[in-house]
Amino acid sequence: MILAALLGGCLIQPGASLTRLTYTLPTTLTVKAGQSLVGTDIIYQKMEGESARVLIKGQPATKRKGDSVDWKGSPVEGTTVDMRLRVVWYSEEELRLAGTVKVTVEEVNPKAGVIHTTSPLHFTGPVAYGIAKGARLPGTTLYYEGQTEEGAQLGGLGEYPFRKMGDSILWEGQLRPGVYIRLDVRAVQFDDRSLRVAGLVSLWLGD
């Protein structure tokens, strides 16, 4: 399904503004009893009979399996995190949630480098991009230079720049202070006009 959307989607053109990026990713989260959901003010108090007792914005809420638990805020400067979650399971020890998270990052200025994988907020999910010749891959310093006999040629890699169909493209670095990214995709289609990739993005928010 991702691949079908990718092959039929619009291309990112050279000069396109990529200073504001939004990622919508599936997520599962676990909260220990007596603790808060990392980066939020949602607290799992305890299991009470057949229900879970939760504090949301300081107000008690009784939740059961399938009930919604939503949160929106800015855990790191220049970001907005919008969680749309459902209760999937709970016990006396922990509460488990699943759903989607939308992470919006403002004033993006990618810089390659070491990522902080111990950051408290971590999300991973699928992404797919199509970029025209001369355009940059969102969230990275990489750009597409066109098709050659050796394969798709990438600029900004700092290493062997050619990729054949199905080859991986890995980039790690910082989107802005306190926001780290690992883009792990593969070339799924290319010609001299465009490159299309699909794979996973991982985000870490906070130092």
Question: For residues 205 and 24, what is the distance between their CA atoms, to the nearest angstrom?
Answer: 15
Between 4-8, 79-83, 98-102, the lowest mean confidence (pLDDT) is in 4-8
Q: Mind listing the pLDDT tens digit for each residue in 92-108?
A: 999 999 999 999 999 99
Q: Mind listing the pLDDT tens digit for each residue in 138-187?
A: 999 999 999 999 999 999 998 999 999 999 999 999 999 999 999 999 99
pTM for this model (two decimals): 0.91
Q: What percent of the chain has pLDDT over 70?
A: 96
User: For the chain, what is the mean pLDDT?
Assistant: 94
For the cut 70, the answer to whether the pLDDT of residue 132 exceeds it is yes
Question: For residues 188 and 167, what is the distance between their CA atoms, to the nearest angstrom?
Answer: 8
Extents of the domains making up the chain: 2-18+108-205, 23-105
Higher per-residue confidence, 3 vs 191:
191
Q: Confirm if 85 and 77 have CB atoms less than 8 A apart.
A: no
Structure tokens at 4: 């079908």
Residue 75: pLDDT band with limits 50, 70, 90: very high
pLDDT of residue 7: 55
